[in-house]
Amino acid sequence: MPQWTPDQPLIRILDVHKAFGAITVLRGVSLDVMKGEVICVIGPSGSGKSTLLRCINALVTIERGSILVEGQEVNDPKLDKLKLRRKVGMVFQQYNLFPHRTALQNVMMAPIHVLKRDRREVEEQARKLIRKVRLEGKEESYPGELSGGQQQRIAIARSLAMNPDVMLFDEVTAALDPETVKEVLFTIRELAEEGMTCVIVTHEMGFAREVADQIYFTDGGVLVEHGPPKEFFANPRDPRTRQFLDQIL
């Protein structure tokens, strides 16, 4: 397998098809993500956005097509999933923090048990990450004691603790109160500005416009069009895109 180099796409998705039983969710989706790029995927519900993300880190297997992450084929049955998930971090809409552990423990767990790193080193990094997401002082709180936005930021810190090369965000602000959405978006923007490669599925158009390098629009399991935010929002080419943007903007 040729060694991956940063001039090649970090993620290369080629003609991916996925069906859940009788329902086809992805019909031949292809896209490339370069290192350091921030991609926003937008589209109506059920258009396959979340499924696409889950395909990238092998939470969902695809029927046809190929997904290459740093040159490694995800669709390979012999794939080392654990190795993939160290490179690809994912944050979910429902935060999914472990309720029986404190915030700090949540952030520390995976690096200790999965990466087998030294405990003190992990703790230091965890505290730094919690500081970074501006939740210093909340290390010993349990998820049940934190607000939705705070939990989501801890979830981001938890994924970052694995030192991934790319972060996937699945509508992470959709379940939050409007007041807390801002703080989470701010955290993500900081990450993007620091150079983290991000694939963000979101409904927040304003945020997408500011932070993305490329916007992709999906509808009915197909990638209808894409482009840099300025062009995309100013001159959508496809009528479906125009219809969607009219509805939400």
Partner 1 sequence: MSVGGRTDLPVLLPFRPRGSAQGPAFRLRARHGLMLAAALTLSVGVAEAQTAPGAPSIIATILKWTPLLAQGFALNIAMSFLAMAIGTVAGFPLGLGQVSLLGPARGVSWFVTQFFRNSPWLVLLFYCMLLMPFEVSIGGTIVALPGWLKSTIGLSLPVMANVSELVRGAVRSIPYGQWEASEALAFSRAQTLRMVILPQCIKRMTPPWMNLYAILTVATPLTSVVGVSEAMTLTGDILSSEARTELLVPLYLYLLLWFFLYCYPIARATQALERGFQVR
How distant, in Å, are the alpha carbons of 81, 97, 170, 233 from that of 248?
37, 31, 19, 12
Sequence letter at residue 210:
E
**Distance from C-alpha of 246 to C-alpha of 249, rounded to nearest angstrom:** 6
CB 6 within 8 A of CB 35: yes
Residues 6+ apart with CB under 8 A from 191: 156, 160, 167, 198
Q: By C-beta, is 184 or 236 nearer to partner 1?
A: 184
Q: By C-beta, is 10 or 52 nearer to partner 1?
A: 52
Interface with partner 1 (CB under 8 A):
20, 25, 45-46, 50-51, 54, 57, 59, 81-82, 85-86, 89-90, 92-100, 109-110, 113-115, 144, 155, 158-159, 162, 171, 174-175
- Least spacing, CB of residue 210 vs partner 1, in Å: 24
Q: By C-beta, is 8 or 93 nearer to partner 1?
A: 93
- Least spacing, CB of residue 130 vs partner 1, in Å: 16
Going by the DSSP 8-state scheme, the letter that residue 143 receives in this structure is G
- Least spacing, CB of residue 93 vs partner 1, in Å: 6
CB 24 within 8 A of CB 199: no
At 51 the three-state DSSP class reads helix
- Least spacing, CB of residue 228 vs partner 1, in Å: 27
Q: By C-beta, is 54 or 153 nearer to partner 1?
A: 54
How distant, in Å, are the alpha carbons of 38, 143, 206, 225, 228 from that of 231?
16, 41, 14, 11, 6
Q: By C-beta, is 16 or 236 nearer to partner 1?
A: 16
- Least spacing, CB of residue 82 vs partner 1, in Å: 5
